[in-house]
């Protein structure tokens, strides 16, 4: 048995940041990671970084003639190679940083033996680690629904699809949520024929109808085909293809394709942790249950990042670390209750970003609101980018003038949204945003115009 001040299970954003912090405080820290290919966590290896690398490459690929398939294939293969180079470099940097800090890194599968003890198994061997504080940061992984034939070749999740060394001529995506849309945009950009099968009739039900309609129009104009209210029944193998058998409008249909992406959501990684041996409860959705301080039902154990059922973003995982840091080394005042205004971006082209309430949420709360909307074509920088697609929409409190929410569907929205999140956090009103001096030409100067409409 090896004794530590802290044991961290999982090399994700929260886990690695906490490990480095503790090591800097001269604490003896062990970090357990199941796979050496996941140093740094989901974002670096199979999530944000590799997918956004392909987003950039797909935008560049669109200048290639549509008819020149071999050239597109070569470009795609170079893009995948570049994606692998970037992730390998960042993975190594993450390992080197913690190793140099004195963190003991274990490769293996972790399982609780009791409240303060974790067993690490690798191959035929195992080691037992004990600590008064244990932190779970095991992330989440793709959910594969129980569809017959889903285990067949040529059926992928988002991580395995990005490792394909050959661009599929056709790609069927099961699920029309944010992950499905990002990959639809990427592969349509490279030149694949993309079809999305969605089980619900409503497109992007979390968003306002005008925003969802604008996104759908842009995606369809890229040649992406959508089918709503679809029930996928079975996958069948046929030579070098997969045949998707599904029901649409009470009619059975089949669709052959070279590749299928399952984009049906992600589930917390709790399998094999033996949480019950440490008296750790889970939620009905299979996440580790935590309180506002991110403690589990075992007060010696915390859960951070995707595994605790919160928003599945790497920057939220980082904020989870801040909550834990406040509890361990601060005054304990920063908790989940103080977290506000979490923004998100969907990296389709152009990108869609949002923070705060949308119109239907504000009206459901009975708030007295003002709304402003402008097409992206109204802004000079959009014409410089030669991309005037999209729509900007902001929601303000009619009485106080405070910004309640923003939806930005335009180039550079993923940068612009951070300014509005900061404005909401600091109580900056819409008049101040309207009258601010922004550099020119930039997309941010659109705020002069749209806030003038409130």
Catalytic residues: 440
| Alpha-carbon span 23 to 7, nearest angstrom | 12
CA distances to 353, 361, 362, 373, 416 from 401, in Å: 22, 18, 14, 16, 20
- Residue pair 170/193 in contact (Cβ under 8 Å)? The answer is yes
Print burial letters for 303-340: b (CB count within 10 Å at least 16), e (below 16).
bbbbbbbbebbbebbbbbbbbbbbbbeeeeebeeeebe
| Alpha-carbon span 442 to 6, nearest angstrom | 46
Helix (H) or strand (E) holding 322: helix 314-329
Helix (H) or strand (E) holding 253: strand 251-257
Q: Whose structure tokens read 């980018």? A: 385
- Provide the token pair at 323: 């909550």
How does strand 125-130 pair with strand 117-122?
antiparallel
Helix (H) or strand (E) holding 188: helix 178-190
In the sheet with 104-107, reading across from the earlier edge strand, the strands are 104-107, 29-33, 6-9, 134-136, 301-303
Specify burial of residue 415 (Cβ count, 10 A radius: 0-12, 13-18, 19+): middle
Rama region for 23: left / alpha / beta (φ>0; ψ in -120 to 50; rest): alpha
Q: Where are the alpha helices (DSSP H) in 102-161?
A: 158-161
- Residue pair 251/273 in contact (Cβ under 8 Å)? The answer is no
112 forms beta bridges with 118
| Alpha-carbon span 373 to 447, nearest angstrom | 11
- Provide the token pair at 3: 């004794």
Helix (H) or strand (E) holding 106: strand 104-107
Specify burial of residue 367 (Cβ count, 10 A radius: 0-12, 13-18, 19+): middle
């Amino acid at each position: 048995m090896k004794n530590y001040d802290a044991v961290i299970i999982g090399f994700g954003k929260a886990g690695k940041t906490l490990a480095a912090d503790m090591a800097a405080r001269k604490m003896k820290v062990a970090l357990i990671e199941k796979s050496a290919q996941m140093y740094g966590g989901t974002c670096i290896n199979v999530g944000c970084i590799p997918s956004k690398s392909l987003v950039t490459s797909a935008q560049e690929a669109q200048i290639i003639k549509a008819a020149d398939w071999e050239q597109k294939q070569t470009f795609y293969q170079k893009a995948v190679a570049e994606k692998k180079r970037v992730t390998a470099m960042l993975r190594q940097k993450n390992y080197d940083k913690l190793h140099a800090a004195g963190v003991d890194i274990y490769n293996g599968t972790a399982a609780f033996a009791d409240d303060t003890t974790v067993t690490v198994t690798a191959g035929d061997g195992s080691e037992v680690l004990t600590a008064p504080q244990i932190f779970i940061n095991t992330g989440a992984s793709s959910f594969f629904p129980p569809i017959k034939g889903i285990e067949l070749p040529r059926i992928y999740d988002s991580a395995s699809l990005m490792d394909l060394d050959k661009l599929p001529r056709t790609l069927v995506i099961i699920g029309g949520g944010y992950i499905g849309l990002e990959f639809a945009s990427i592969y349509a950009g490279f030149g694949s024929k993309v079809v999305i099968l969605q089980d619900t009739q409503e497109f992007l039900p979390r968003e306002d109808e005008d925003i969802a309609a604008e996104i759908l129009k842009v995606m369809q104009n890229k040649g992406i085909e959508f089918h709503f209210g679809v029930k996928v029944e079975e996958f069948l193998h046929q030579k070098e293809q997969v045949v998707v058998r599904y029901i649409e409008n009470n009619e059975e249909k089949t669709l052959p394709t070279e590749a299928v992406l399952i984009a049906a959501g992600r589930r917390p990684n709790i399998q094999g942790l033996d949480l019950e041996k440490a008296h750790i409860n889970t939620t009905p959705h299979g996440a580790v249950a935590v309180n506002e301080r991110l403690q589990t039902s075992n007060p010696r154990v915390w859960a951070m990042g995707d595994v605790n059922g919160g928003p599945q973003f790497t920057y939220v995982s980082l904020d989870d670390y801040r909550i834990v840091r406040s509890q361990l080394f601060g005054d304990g005042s920063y908790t989940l209750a103080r977290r506000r205004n979490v923004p998100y971006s969907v990296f389709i082209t152009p990108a869609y970003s949002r923070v705060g309430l949308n119109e239907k949420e504000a009206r459901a709360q009975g708030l007295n609101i003002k709304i402003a909307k402008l097409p992206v074509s109204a802004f000079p920088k959009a014409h410089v980018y030669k991309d005037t697609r999209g729509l900007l929409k902001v929601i303000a409190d009619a009485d106080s003038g405070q910004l309640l929410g923003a939806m930005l569907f335009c180039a550079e929205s993923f940068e612009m949204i951070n300014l509005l999140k900061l404005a909401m956090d600091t109580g900056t009103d819409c008049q101040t945003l309207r009258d601010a001096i922004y550099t020119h030409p930039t997309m941010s100067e659109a705020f002069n115009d749209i806030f003038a409409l409130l």
